[in-house]
Structure 1
């Protein structure tokens, strides 16, 4: 059996299972199996597959039919044009989150922050932290998470991109560890925290439900982490430091209300789909009267 024949059968099989991206998924899995770019599959349509390749591919297709995300099957995901290792137990990086990274990079360059100190809270796979350290080549970045699975993967991605000299991964429940150590004067805090409501979780696609619930759900209204993180940020940021948050598309107004008197320049920005996606704010501690 050649590539063309097996792709056609796999596409039809996945489509019958209700997977809308059946053809794309079949091609991505085949490209990973054969260690080639997806576009090269068309050049090698007539390539005869070995029996062991067919067997391995069928196992991959079987997993996809069980609605296991493609990224978990091939154990990698591209983000900000970088490749990241992912596996079950860690959130899969989303294209929408690239907006958040790009916003932080743009801000640092506009402000002339050549050696910014950055903390990425709820780092997960480390996609945000690694991307910032990669593109801001003199930044000092710390990625934090409470999940041991996430910390393990984040460290692997940090090493994969050769960033151990300017990056570190620290276990912390939000910013508690930094507050405990009395670490202050941080330039930038960035976070893509859990923000899905408990009710929304029940309506999500089967693939999303395969991802860690703790990395997705934040209470009945999806705001639990913002209520904790914003006050904690005041104890860690420098005066004039900036906080960048990813939010759910309906949460902008509610998140704005959480910021207290020490915050100004609160801005909401949209993602590529024109949905509210990023809230940023400047921390400026008011002097006691």
Structure 2
């Protein structure tokens, strides 16, 4: 692999102080700039993909005058609520969205993201989206806190920390290990599956019509699917594939919402996805 030139590093530093730190993995200023944006808003492009796909389902299958109630667990920077609200409001549909996270630092980031993007968001965003601190693993307290803020939950969505301690140490790239907050990636105790039963229980007790959660890949997707099926809380459970055909999102439904089982289109590509 060619060495990074001093000129490239200086050019990256002139654009943003953090870009040189991303160059060893990204190799170009353009890719590093995109990665920096994703680090600030989107952990993964797959998250943006499944969020936008969900919006398409909502607009297609729900009445345009519906007010959709959504709870985003482990909200992080608030990117999922912001994108949901923006795309729904642009289509004329109202929503009430709660974002929950245990990290006060993440919640500060989510609120800053609203302020930073307020000129491009709907005027009602501050009233329609609320972020608050909560422990997703403490289901009783979480359900009570949500019910105090939102009457009628249609969808519970989550991109929780799902990487096991072993996978974090062996499989993640160096830039992720060095610069992304570990709390957002690896659950306390290192069990990558620990959040999914709690997410399922919360959605069930809130009477949610659908549940959607991102996972690491096929093995975890099948474990989560099996767990939610065994809970008997859902009429059906299925797995959405990402761009590359990898199972990255588990969905469950009831109350006639079986249309949500249809996942995003898979992109046909015969090269190396890591190029």
Does residue 236 of the first structure (1) align with residue 200 of the second (2)? no
* Structure 1 CA distance for aligned equivalents of residues 242 and 146 of structure 2: 35
* Structure 2 CA distance for aligned equivalents of residues 255 and 30 of structure 1: 42
The answer on whether the counterparts of 2:52 and 2:83 sit within 8 Å (CA) in structure 1 is no
Q: How does 1:1-289 map to 2 (within 5 A)?
A: 11-13=4-6, 29=12, 32-33=15-16, 61=20, 63-64=21-22, 77-78=36-37, 86=40, 93-113=43-63, 114-137=66-89, 138-162=94-118, 163-174=125-136, 177-181=141-145, 183=147, 185-203=152-170, 204-209=172-177, 210-218=179-187, 219-238=189-208, 241-249=209-217, 250-259=219-228, 260-283=231-254
* Structure 1 CA distance for aligned equivalents of residues 88 and 249 of structure 2: 20
Give how far 1:133 is off. 0.7
Would the alpha carbon gap of residues 98 and 60 (structure 1) be closer, same or farther in structure 2, given more than 3 Å must change?
A: closer
The answer on whether the counterparts of 1:243 and 1:280 sit within 8 Å (CA) in structure 2 is yes
Would the alpha carbon gap of residues 92 and 134 (structure 1) be closer, same or farther in structure 2, given more than 3 Å must change?
A: closer
The structure whose residues are more often strand, as a share, is 1
Larger mean CA deviation between 228-237 and 123-132 belongs to 228-237
Q: TM-score, structure 2 length as denominator?
A: 0.71
The answer on whether the counterparts of 1:10 and 1:26 sit within 8 Å (CA) in structure 2 is no
* Structure 2 CA distance for aligned equivalents of residues 283 and 151 of structure 1: 31
3-state SS in 1 of match to 2:67:
coil
* Structure 2: runs of 5+ lacking an equivalent: 119-124, 256-275
The structure whose residues are more often helix, as a share, is 2
Larger mean CA deviation between 154-163 and 137-146 belongs to 154-163
Would the alpha carbon gap of residues 65 and 267 (structure 1) be closer, same or farther in structure 2, given more than 3 Å must change?
A: closer
* Structure 2 CA distance for aligned equivalents of residues 60 and 100 of structure 1: 27
Superposition RMSD in Å: 3.4
Would the alpha carbon gap of residues 124 and 181 (structure 1) be closer, same or farther in structure 2, given more than 3 Å must change?
A: closer
The answer on whether the counterparts of 1:237 and 1:283 sit within 8 Å (CA) in structure 2 is no
1:178-218 residue CA offsets vs partner (Å, 9 max, x unmatched): 42247152011110001111100102212111212121113
Give how far 1:108 is off. 1.1
* Structure 1 CA distance for aligned equivalents of residues 98 and 146 of structure 2: 15
Would the alpha carbon gap of residues 274 and 26 (structure 1) be closer, same or farther in structure 2, given more than 3 Å must change?
A: farther
Would the alpha carbon gap of residues 143 and 77 (structure 1) be closer, same or farther in structure 2, given more than 3 Å must change?
A: farther
Bigger Rg, which one: 1
* Structure 2 CA distance for aligned equivalents of residues 197 and 177 of structure 1: 26
Q: How many residues are matched? A: 229
* Structure 1: runs of 5+ lacking an equivalent: 1-8, 15-22, 34-55, 80-84, 285-289
